[in-house]
């Protein structure tokens, strides 16, 4: 079940290709990274030769910068471990710059080597193929009943023998009827308590977790799928939009009384509606059109108090309510 | 014998370099393969364009320092994203402290720098605008939901991979994703409604 409407999905599809970095971005960050990680001398970001020819002070500076970066990173790890992502649980204190010799070679390669990357994105290790703009609703997590279809063996994830039968279940699922995701897919559904055993608090480091353990939570997902998790929120949004839009159209048509009635109806039906801000602003405009200045002023004050940073505040301020103020 | 030394060293270095090129876990290869992913994820997670270089760089620095511990239980991509999330959170904490009174600007892509490989100018502009809008809408989600939403809806990553990347149980991923979709849909509806109001 997806809570996204077709227009939302179309927007996401379109946006997916809009965040790609340019080659300039790639080169710029590569150079900065080479300088940061470069334990070698000189910090030249043009050629390895010139980097090697630089003096000792620069070497010391680069090492300090590199170590500083790593220490800073370690601080980030420690600071953010509380309840969030916990890859860094294994941090055992500040570490020196890793592999100085390798780092220097790396810097040289980063600076000098032409990018092996072609225009097409390289395949990600173990990641599902991401066809830009080519996603269909059935590809989306939870968009259909395909949730467990995502649990499939991947070459890079070292899943071990536990995963082997999954290939079969993944292949056979296309022939299965919708809603079959239950404990009847045995390979994907070992016992869920493994989560608790291996991940106290539910937040253990990915690096420390065995992939099969993670997969053992699949029954949980299956149960979630079988249980209607959410009310029909999109319907609510659509209904809200329809109601407020009707009020807008009524006002534009000169039927202020009907517009006000619709806004009252909206406020009653959706006291915490997502379009409450728009509805409140529209109420000010309607009251102005009806010549009910005092009420418009009160509605305006209420609007500004509730949504002081609203994008509609300029229009509300420019309404009759503001002009009526002494 | 001593005359052979430089040649032997060169051959050894060349062999090592070739091994690194072949090794998908060699840092340089990881950088080339995953840079775009880390970059756009930083953008989608709301990193201000002025700080995006720093965040991406920091992510790879952390990755480099932790690379020896990588055991292949998750993909490099999911591991990197886990690092990125932490780096972004730390960055945003610092940023919010410094600019407590000023809401962070929507960190959408600069239309001038959006890369497009095939589309015409109209499609190009539409993608840039859509990316900007989505970034703005996603910025309204809280950190946890935003991370799940970005990976699921924009990176099209599977739920188990997201669970690995974020270090949370699978059911948490589904739960956050469901809520994130609802909030995104609501924000998109608001945006469309506001567009009508502006025109009106």
* Closest CA–CA distance from residue A322 to any residue of chain B (Å): 19
- Nearest CB to A203; choose among B128, B152, B167: B167
A15 touches chain B (CB under 8 A): yes
ipTM: 0.72
Query: Measured between CA atoms, how close is A240 to chain B, in angstroms?
Result: 9
Report whether A214 contacts B162 (CB < 8 A).
no
Report pLDDT for B192: 80
Q: CA nearest B27 in A: which residue?
A: A106
Contact B91, B51 (CB under 8 A): yes
Question: Judged by CB atoms within 8 Å, which residues 170-189 of A form the interface with B?
Answer: none
Rounded to 5°, the CA angle A117-A72-A93 comes to 110
Looking at beta carbons, which residues of chain A come within 8 Å of B103? 309
Q: Among partner residues A106, A141, A221, which is closest to B27 by beta-carbon distance?
A: A106
Return all residues near B34 (Cβ < 8 A) that are at least 6 apart: A124, B76, B77, B80
A253 at B interface, C-beta within 8 A? no
Asked if B135 and B108 count as a contact pair (C-beta separation under 8 A), the reply is: yes
| DSSP string of B88-104, one letter each residue | HHHHHHHHHHHTTTSPP
Greater model confidence, B12 or B191: B191
Provide the pLDDT for residue A241. 81
Nearest chain A residue to B85, by CA: A85
Residue A245: how many other CB atoms lie within 10 Å: 19
Distance from the Cα of B41 to chain A's closest Cα (Å) equals 8
A226–chain B Cβ distance below 8 A for any pair? no
The sign of the dihedral angle between the CA atoms of B17, B22, B23, B29 is positive
Q: CA of A306, closest CA in chain B: separation in Å? A: 17
Q: What is the DSSP string of A46-59?
A: S-HHHHHTS-HHHH
- Tell me the average pLDDT of chain B: 77
Q: CB distance B82–A77 less than 8 Å?
A: no
- Test mutation, A2, A18, A193, A274, chain B, max B CBs within 10 A: A18
CA distance B99 to chain A (A): 17
Cβ–Cβ gap B171/A220 under 8 Å? yes
Answer whether A305's CB lies under 8 Å from A274's CB.
no
- Token readout for A192 is 């869920």
Contact of A62 with chain B, judged by CB distance below 8 Å, is answered with no
The more confidently predicted of residues B8 and B182 is: B182
User: Which DSSP category does A253 fall into?
Assistant: T
DSSP code of residue B153: I
How far is A145 from A135, CA to CA, in rounded Å?
16
Tens of pLDDT along B68-121?
Answer: 777 777 788 888 888 998 898 888 777 666 655 544 444 445 544 444 455 566
Q: What confidence score (pLDDT) does residue B10 get?
A: 62
* Optimal mutation site among B122, B189, B192, B200, interface A, most CBs of chain A within 10 A: B189
As a whole number of angstroms, the distance between CA B47 and CA B150 comes to 13
CB-nearest partner of A19 from B27, B31, B43:
B43
CA-CA-CA-CA torsion sign (A171, A178, B157, A118): positive
**pLDDT above 90 for B174:** yes
A196 touches chain B (CB under 8 A): no
In order along its 326 residues, chain A shows pLDDT tens digits of 467 888 888 888 888 877 778 888 888 888 887 777 764 333 334 433 333 333 333 333 444 444 444 444 444 444 433 333 333 333 333 333 444 444 455 555 554 444 434 343 433 433 333 333 333 444 456 544 333 333 333 333 333 333 333 233 333 333 333 332 333 332 322 332 233 333 333 333 333 333 333 333 344 334 434 444 444 444 577 788 888 888 888 888 889 999 999 999 999 988 888 788 888 888 999 999 899 988 999 999 998 888 887 777 888 888 887 764 54
Write the DSSP string, A179-216: T--STTSGGG---TTHHHHHSGGG---GGGS-HHHHHT
Q: Which residue of B has its CA nearest to A244?
A: B193
d(CA A132, CA B153): 11
Q: Are B161 and B137 in contact (CB under 8 A)?
A: no
Q: How many CB atoms lie within 10 A of CB B105?
A: 13
Nearest to A36 by CA among B112, B48, B119, B57: B57
CA of B51 vs chain A CAs: smallest distance (Å): 12
Q: How far apart are CA B158 and CA B149, in angstroms?
A: 11
Q: How far is Cα A176 from Cα A273, in angstroms, rounded to an integer?
A: 39
Q: Report the alpha-carbon distance of residue A90 to residue A71 in Å, rounded.
A: 14
Whether the CB of A242 is below 8 Å from some CB of chain B: the reply is: no
Supply the pLDDT for residue A147. 31
Mean pLDDT of B36-44: 89
Q: Between B71, B72, B188, which is nearest A8 by CB?
A: B188
Q: Are A275 and B187 within 8 A, CB to CB? A: no
What pLDDT shows up at residue B6? 65
Q: How far apart are CA A78 and CA A91, in angstroms?
A: 8
- Residue B190, classed as helix, strand or coil, is helix
Rounded to 5 degrees, what angle do the CA atoms A83, B74, B145 make?
A: 40
Q: Which residue has the tokens 């890079």?
A: A156
Nearest CA in chain B to A212: B73
C-alpha–C-alpha distance, residues B42 and B52, integer Å: 7
């Amino acid at each position: 079940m997806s809570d996204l409407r077709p227009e939302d999905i179309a927007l996401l599809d379109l946006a997916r290709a809009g965040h790609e970095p340019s080659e300039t971005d790639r080169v710029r960050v590569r150079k900065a990274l080479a300088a940061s990680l470069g334990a070698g001398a000189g910090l030249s970001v043009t050629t390895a030769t010139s980097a090697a020819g630089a003096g000792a002070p620069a070497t010391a500076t680069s090492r300090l910068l590199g170590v500083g970066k790593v220490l800073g990173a370690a601080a980030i790890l420690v600071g953010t471990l509380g309840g969030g992502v916990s890859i860094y649980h294994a941090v055992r204190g500040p570490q020196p710059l890793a592999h100085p010799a390798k780092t220097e070679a790396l810097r040289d390669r980063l600076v000098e080597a032409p990018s092996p990357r072609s225009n097409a994105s390289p395949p990600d290790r173990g990641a599902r193929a991401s066809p830009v703009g080519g996603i269909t609703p059935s590809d989306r997590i939870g968009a259909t009943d395909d949730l467990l279809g995502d649990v499939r063996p991947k070459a890079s994830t070292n899943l071990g023998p536990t995963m082997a039968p999954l290939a079969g279940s993944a292949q056979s699922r296309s022939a299965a009827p919708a809603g079959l995701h239950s404990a009847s897919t045995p390979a994907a559904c070992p016992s869920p308590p493994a989560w608790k055993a291996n991940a106290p608090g539910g937040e253990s480091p990915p690096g420390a977790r065995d992939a099969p353990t993670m997969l053992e939570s699949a029954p949980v997902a299956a149960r979630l799928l079988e249980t209607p998790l959410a009310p029909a929120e999109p319907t609510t949004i659509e209904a809200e939009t329809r109601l407020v839009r009707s009020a807008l159209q009524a006002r534009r048509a000169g039927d202020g009384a009907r517009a006000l009635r619709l806004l009252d109806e909206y406020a009653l039906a959706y006291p915490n509606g997502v379009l409450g801000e728009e509805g409140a602003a529209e109420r000010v405009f309607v009251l102005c059109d009806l010549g009910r200045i005092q009420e418009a002023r009160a509605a305006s004050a209420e609007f500004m108090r509730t949504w002081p940073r609203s994008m509609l505040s300029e229009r509300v301020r420019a309404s009759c309510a503001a002009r009526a103020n002494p | 014998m001593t005359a052979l030394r430089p040649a032997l060293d060169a051959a050894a270095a060349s062999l090592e370099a070739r091994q690194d090129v072949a090794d998908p876990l060699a840092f340089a290869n990881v950088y080339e393969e995953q840079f775009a992913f880390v970059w756009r994820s930083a953008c989608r997670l709301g990193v201000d364009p002025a700080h995006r270089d720093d965040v991406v760089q920091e992510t790879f620095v952390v990755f480099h320092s932790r690379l020896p511990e990588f055991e292949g239980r998750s993909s490099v991509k999911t591991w990197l994203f886990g690092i990125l999330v932490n780096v972004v959170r730390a960055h945003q904490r610092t940023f919010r402290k410094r600019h407590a009174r000023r809401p962070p600007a929507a960190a959408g892509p600069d239309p001038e720098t959006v890369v497009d490989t095939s589309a015409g100018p109209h499609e190009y502009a539409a993608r840039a605008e859509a990316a900007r809008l989505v970034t703005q809408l996603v910025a309204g989600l809280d950190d946890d939901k935003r991370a799940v939403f970005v990976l699921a809806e924009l990176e099209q990553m599977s739920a188990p991979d997201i669970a690995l990347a974020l270090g949370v149980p699978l059911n948490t991923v589904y739960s956050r994703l469901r809520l994130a979709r609802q909030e995104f849909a609501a924000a998109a509806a608001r945006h469309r409604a506001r567009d009508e109001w502006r025109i009106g």
